[in-house]
A = this chain, B = another copy of it.
Amino acid sequence: MIVVMKPGSTPNEVAHVVALVKELGLKEHVIVGEERTVIACVGNERFKELQRVETSPGVEKVVPILAPYKMASAESKKERSRIELITGRPETSIGGRRVGIIAGPCSVESRAQILEVAHAVKEAGAIGLRGGAFKPRTSPYAFQGMGIEGLKHLAEAREQTGLAIVTEVMSIDQIDAVCEYADVMQIGARNMQNYNLLSAVGEKRKPVLLKRGLSATLEEFLLAAEYIMARGNEKVMLCERGIRTFEEYVRNTLPLAVVPELQRVSHLPVVVDPSHGTGKSHLVPAMSRAAVAAGADGLIIESHEDPEHALTDGAQSVTPEVLARIVRECRRVAEAIDREV
């Protein structure tokens, strides 16, 4: 931590801060500059409440040096993580040379629908099937998902296709059911800082697809991953799904520079969601290719046989035909950067 004092701070104020720094278990180096005094603090600050030094008289600002997460950091694990969506089935991995595609409808709407789309998605080249059984809906009056019945349809789709099942878990009481029927627990963007839920999925050993919150910083995103990992579940995939900005031609802005940056600071695989990441089906093909070119380890794409009649998220879903074309295009882009789809 670096403490920058205000111009004109007094020796007493500096001494007071030094005492606080020592209380925190850190060692101080006081550096008197021409205009300002700076106190550089050495020691393990990672899990300390540094910001409270900010209120001390004469302090201008506090700059932490160490990232506040550890297990999620690139420093704690040198090789990049590779996660099998279904344990023992390496062809369902995310995080290796191969870029894994997960696709499917926003919601499970019926047995027939999910089985049909599962076969189409499999044929297009996906390794995972997405589909919501429990749906977080902005409106209390909207379709809230099929619940357990939807989970059973998803499990049947896995039987028929071998696809790994990725589905959202919205609350602690849904975790057991999701773990029984599905392979990957998805934490939605709106729950990225639902810490009780994060801790609870951390107790399980199934992989977690953790979506970045709409306005979460990377540090907050990695701390959410750390919540899960700190409980013992290290199978976390980081999923970028777009952020909220002033832009109007998209529902969300997809900031792809997050892909190489997350890969620099963390060992966890990075998945991109171009469907929520734009909110517009006509932008999904270009952004899927761009995500692969940027180095994404996986894609998660919404696909529906009949987007006009999807119960949820129709505006950002692509048909299975378009999905198949996207996968073909992404395969060529992946090869151009010495990866494969």
| Option from B36, B170, B294 in Cβ contact (under 8 Å) with A65 | B36
Q: Does A15 contact B (CB under 8 A)?
A: no
Q: Does A81 contact B (CB under 8 A)?
A: no
| Option from B49, B230, B289 in Cβ contact (under 8 Å) with A314 | B49
Which of A83-91, A112-120, A121-129, A254-262 lines the interface with chain B? A254-262
Q: Are A47 and B245 in contact (CB under 8 A)?
A: no
Q: Are A315 and B283 in contact (CB under 8 A)?
A: no
Q: Does A148 contact B (CB under 8 A)?
A: no
Question: From DSSP, what is the main secondary structure of chain A's interface residues?
Answer: mixed
A53 contacts which chain B residues (CB < 8 A)?
308
Q: Does A4 contact B (CB under 8 A)?
A: yes
Q: Are A217 and B257 in contact (CB under 8 A)?
A: no
| Option from B32, B226, B257, B336 in Cβ contact (under 8 Å) with A286 | B257
Q: Does A29 contact B (CB under 8 A)?
A: yes
Q: Are A142 and B47 in contact (CB under 8 A)?
A: yes
| Option from B290, B314, B335 in Cβ contact (under 8 Å) with A290 | B290
Interface members, chain A 210-256 (any B CB < 8 Å): 214-215, 217-220, 223, 226-227, 230, 243-250, 253-256
Knowing A53-B308, A289-B293, the reply to whether A194 touches B191 (Cβ < 8 A) is: yes
Knowing A36-B65, A40-B38, A75-B7, the reply to whether A136 touches B193 (Cβ < 8 A) is: yes
Q: Are A226 and B283 in contact (CB under 8 A)?
A: no
Compute how far the CA of A129 lies from the CA of B283 in the bound complex, rounded to whole angstroms.
Answer: 31
| Option from B220, B264, B309, B337 in Cβ contact (under 8 Å) with A333 | B337
A55 contacts which chain B residues (CB < 8 A)?
281, 307-308, 314-315, 317
| Option from B52, B140, B226 in Cβ contact (under 8 Å) with A140 | B226
| Option from B36, B38, B43, B315 in Cβ contact (under 8 Å) with A52 | B315
Interface members, chain A 285-312 (any B CB < 8 Å): 285-287, 289-295, 307-312
Compute how far the CA of A59 lies from the CA of B3 in the bound complex, rounded to whole angstroms.
Answer: 20
Knowing A138-B223, A194-B190, A253-B255, the reply to whether A261 touches B283 (Cβ < 8 A) is: yes
Q: Does A278 contact B (CB under 8 A)?
A: yes
| Option from B260, B308, B317 in Cβ contact (under 8 Å) with A282 | B260
Q: Does A196 contact B (CB under 8 A)?
A: yes
Write the nearest CB–CB distance from A76 to chain B, whole angstroms: 10
Knowing A190-B193, A283-B257, the reply to whether A223 touches B139 (Cβ < 8 A) is: yes
9 A-B interface contacts by CB (under 8 A):
A4-B65, A31-B42, A35-B75, A36-B65, A36-B66, A40-B40, A170-B196, A249-B261, A250-B257
What 9 A-B pairs have minimum CB-CB distances, sorted nearest first? A52-B314, A293-B293, A215-B215, A190-B193, A47-B141, A332-B336, A290-B294, A260-B286, A171-B196
